[in-house]
């Protein structure tokens, strides 16, 4: 997981915030989930090492889906309180080895959900416009349009929603998003106009206007949440952005060093080739050659 904020019960006022280095949650997080995170689960034969996905219900503190990798490399899922059609979809053998690709959105409405994995998607009791929106994202041949492969859904209040897409270059919003989440809708319009892509979007499905969105290249976190939660989000967002920038610097320095080494090796190889060709000219083949290093450096391409 990267930087993700999940709105929890009661009534969307709780939170679960995950970053690459830490987890933070309010008491309303389902107890088995907190036990997994704290490695204190009573049957913890598969201690959590990497959290892939957590889905919770903002209206039912006992409902959740958890997917993780344990310390031995095994991949596991655990759930409770899920709608029967979703549970059947999860138990399909086609998804038995795809736990790390599953994304589930549970709604305040108990039977409403949207689930997606690399082996397809499923939904239940969704707003009537949503299936048509999903179908419109397909080409005639049944393939997804460019940048429109569904990656999940974020539910808003009532029947509002945002369909997320892989790559973060496209979303499909229900018609009432602009009214219910005006700041979020404006943020989307401005960032897409600038050619930006998102990595995460979450609406508060119990409180209109509240949301969290993470943008890529450069990384940026936007949110509108209550004061106490906002202070935590700001603190962790600042840490997250600082860590991303630090990794970029290390990566750039490593890339430059590797490219410089590759350039030196290439030049040495070209020089040896030039010397071999020159020797061939010396023995009367009639070949001549000129070796020249083109101006510029690899740095200009980074």
CB–CB of 67/116 below 8 Å? Answer: no
In this predicted structure, what is the pLDDT of residue 258?
61
What is the model's pLDDT at position 285?
35
pLDDT in tens, 181-229: 999 999 999 999 999 999 999 999 999 999 999 999 899 999 999 888 9
pLDDT, residue 58, reads 83
User: What is residue 251's predicted lDDT score, i.e. its pLDDT?
Assistant: 63
Alpha-carbon distance of 198 to 250, in angstroms, equals 23
In this structure, are residues 230 and 223 in contact, taking their beta carbons and an 8 Å threshold?
yes
Q: What pLDDT, on a 0 to 100 scale, did the predictor assign at position 278?
A: 44
For residues 86-115, average pLDDT = 91
Q: In this predicted structure, what is the pLDDT of residue 269?
A: 57
Q: What is the pLDDT of residues 231-286, one digit of tens each?
A: 999 999 999 999 998 888 776 656 566 666 766 666 665 555 445 434 444 433 33
Under DSSP, the state recorded for 302 is: -
d(CA 263, CA 157): 56
Q: What is the pLDDT of residue 281?
A: 45
DSSP state of 102: -
Q: Which residue has the higher pLDDT, 209 or 287?
A: 209
> Rounded to 5 degrees, what angle do the CA atoms 157, 186, 1 make?
65
Model confidence at 289: pLDDT above 90? no
Per-residue pLDDT, averaged over 91-96, amounts to 84
> Would you call 203 helix, strand, or coil by DSSP?
strand
What per-residue confidence (pLDDT) applies to 280?
Answer: 43
For 6-51, what is each residue's pLDDT tens digit? 999 888 888 999 999 899 999 999 999 999 999 888 777 788 999 9
Q: Please report the pLDDT score of residue 9 as a whole number.
A: 83
DSSP assignment of 7-19 equals EESSTT-EEEEE-
CA gap 285, 193 in Å, rounded: 61
pTM of the shown model: 0.81
For β-strands 23-25 and 14-18, DSSP reports them as: antiparallel
Which of 137, 171, 138, 166 has the alpha carbon at shortest distance from 154? 171
Residue 186 and residue 247: Cα distance in Å, rounded? 30
What's the CA gap between 301 and 258, in Å, rounded? 13
pLDDT for 120-176, tens place per residue? Answer: 899 999 999 999 999 999 998 779 999 999 999 999 999 999 999 999 999 999 999
Structure-block tokens of residue 3: 């930087």
């Amino acid at each position: 997981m990267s930087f993700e904020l999940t709105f929890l019960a009661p009534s969307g006022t709780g939170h679960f915030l995950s970053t690459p280095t830490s987890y933070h949650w309010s008491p309303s997080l389902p107890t088995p989930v907190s036990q997994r995170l704290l490695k204190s689960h009573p049957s913890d034969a598969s201690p959590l090492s990497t959290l892939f996905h957590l889905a919770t219900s903002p209206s039912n503190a006992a409902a959740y889906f958890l997917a993780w990798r344990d310390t031995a490399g095994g991949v596991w899922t655990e759930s409770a309180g899920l709608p029967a059609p979703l549970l059947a979809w999860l138990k399909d053998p086609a998804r038995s080895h795809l736990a790390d690709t599953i994304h589930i959105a549970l709604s305040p409405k108990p039977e409403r959900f949207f689930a997606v994995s690399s082996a397809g998607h499923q939904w239940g009791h969704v707003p009537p416009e949503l299936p048509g929106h999903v179908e419109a994202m397909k080409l005639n041949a049944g393939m997804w349009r460019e940048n429109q492969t569904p990656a999940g859904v974020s539910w808003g209040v009532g029947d509002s929603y945002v369909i997320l897409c892989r790559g973060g270059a496209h979303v499909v919003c229900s018609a009432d998003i602009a009214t219910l989440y005006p700041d979020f809708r404006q943020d989307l319009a401005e960032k897409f106009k600038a050619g930006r892509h998102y990595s995460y979007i979450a609406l508060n499905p119990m409180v209109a206007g509240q949301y969290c969105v993470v943008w890529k290249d450069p990384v940026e976190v936007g949110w509108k949440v209550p004061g106490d939660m906002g202070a935590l989000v700001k603190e962790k967002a600042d840490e997250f952005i600082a860590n991303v920038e630090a990794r970029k610097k290390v990566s750039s320095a490593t890339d430059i060093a590797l490219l410089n080494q590759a350039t030196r090796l290439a030049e040495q190889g070209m020089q040896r080739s030039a010397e071999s060709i020159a020797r061939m000219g010396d023995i009367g083949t009639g070949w001549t050659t000129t070796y020249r290093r083109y101006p510029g450096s690899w740095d200009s391409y980074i």
